[in-house]
Structure 1
Amino acid sequence: MRNDIAALVGSRICHDLISPIGAIGNGVELIGLTESTSGPEMALISESVENANARIRFFRVAFGAASADQIIGRTEVLSILSATAKSGRFTYYWQVDNDHARRDVRIAFLLLQCFETAFPVGGDITTIQDADTWTLTAHGDRMNYDENLWDSLTRPRLGYEHSAAEVQFALLPIVLQEARRTLNIAVTGDQITATFK
């Protein structure tokens, strides 16, 4: 089996960062208990630690390695999305029952990041799953839909040059191929719908 070096690097970075970020959060909590520091500085530090922790957990799923037999629990997914939504611009509606293959959830999380690019001021994202078909729908104000960028998901052979901020678009076709999934994108008005099966 060929290991995906980029995914392993992502897993390693997330693994190494999640413990110190958690430790900082614990330290901030202890300071709050032992000293009368309830000013805006402490609030800012606490909020920043929560945001960093949420993002690193999200990145661990989106960019980390995922073997074919790995499962991720629904409770964990809901926890990650809830924490991410607190400090972000999006509201996530995860209408997916049960636990699922980590590869499928990884595809969904990468699509969530693609939606972030298309809706710079935020919006609502709904994820549903029916049998083997997953559908993610995003809508919001001021949609910024770059047709060439989104075409790179379904037609990677066009050779689109991705920037660092668009790495999710470069990675997603590879992950889809590994999972033997196909993706369709539909755009109507202020809404993007992505379906993979």
Structure 2
Amino acid sequence: MLSNLNALIGSRICHDLINPLGAIGNGIELLGLSGVADSPEMALVTDSVQNASAKVRFLRLAFGDATADQVVQHGEILSVLQAISNGGRVTYSWAVPGDPPRLDVRVALLAVMCVETALPLGGDIQITQNQSNWTIKTKHDRLSLDPALWAPLSKGEYADSLTPAQVHFGLLPQMAAQADRKLAFSHGRDWVAVTF
């Protein structure tokens, strides 16, 4: 049995979605060249396609298949994070040098998704690396931390019951183990951090 079947499914779904989104984007660009795209409706469609494309690129990195020899280009990560923060409530500060291993990027982005759940009003998420240690952290005076989701992370476990909107809490410990990383979770009144 394939141990990475879920990741392969994630990669396939993202691959199958990105092609039609790209085609729609190209069509909108052609309409723009003909002058048809100068309307609020076309601007909305353009923004929606760009947001959907950025989200699929993010999800491909977070849920897709990864091997130990793959790296992610620094510029690609910055591009994805910038694109998904456009018009959103969450911004991202990526302070990781060079082209990191894809396995580590996958763990970092799953941790980012977990930290996002603690920010119902939005905020900034910092992703840093100090030598080989990664930290995904946010600070906000109105955090929302569900102990049933967060407490198991430091033990490399996940909650007994997850909804589709919480699936990243289930995948994070598994992907950290695959990357040979140990997760830690810490928090205070106005901050939360995931380290590995």
Which TM-score applies when normalising by structure 1? Answer: 0.94
Give 1:164's aligned residue.
Answer: 164
Would the aligned equivalents of 2:155 and 2:183 in 1 still touch at CA under 8 Å? no
Give 2:96's aligned residue.
Answer: 96
Give 1:185's aligned residue.
Answer: 185
Cα separation, partners in 2 of 1:142 and 1:66, compared to 1, 3 Å: same
User: Which string of whole-angstrom CA distances, capped at 9 and with x for unpartnered residues, describes residues 135-185 of structure 1?
Assistant: 111123521111111123233557521110000001011101111111111
Give 1:110's aligned residue.
Answer: 110
User: The residue matched to 2:10 in structure 1 has which SS?
Assistant: helix
Between the aligned partners of 1:147 and 1:186, the Cα distance in structure 2 is: 12
Gaps of 5+ in 2: none
User: Which string of whole-angstrom CA distances, capped at 9 and with x for unpartnered residues, describes residues 103-130 of structure 1?
Assistant: 0011110011111111111101111111
User: How many percent of aligned residue pairs carry the same amino acid?
Assistant: 46
Gaps of 5+ in 1: none
Between the aligned partners of 2:102 and 2:179, the Cα distance in structure 1 is: 10
Give 1:61's aligned residue.
Answer: 61
Alignment RMSD, CA only?
1.6
User: The residue matched to 2:111 in structure 1 has which SS?
Assistant: helix
Would the aligned equivalents of 1:90 and 1:124 in 2 still touch at CA under 8 Å? yes
Between the aligned partners of 2:68 and 2:174, the Cα distance in structure 1 is: 14
Which TM-score applies when normalising by structure 2? Answer: 0.94
Asked if 1:127 corresponds to 2:127, the answer is yes
Give 2:194's aligned residue.
Answer: 194
Report which stretch shifted further, 127-136 or 155-164: 155-164
Q: Could you list the structure 1 runs, at least 4 aligned residues long, displaced by more than 3 angstroms after superposition.
A: 155-159
User: The residue matched to 1:176 in structure 2 has which SS?
Assistant: helix
Would the aligned equivalents of 1:4 and 1:65 in 2 still touch at CA under 8 Å? yes
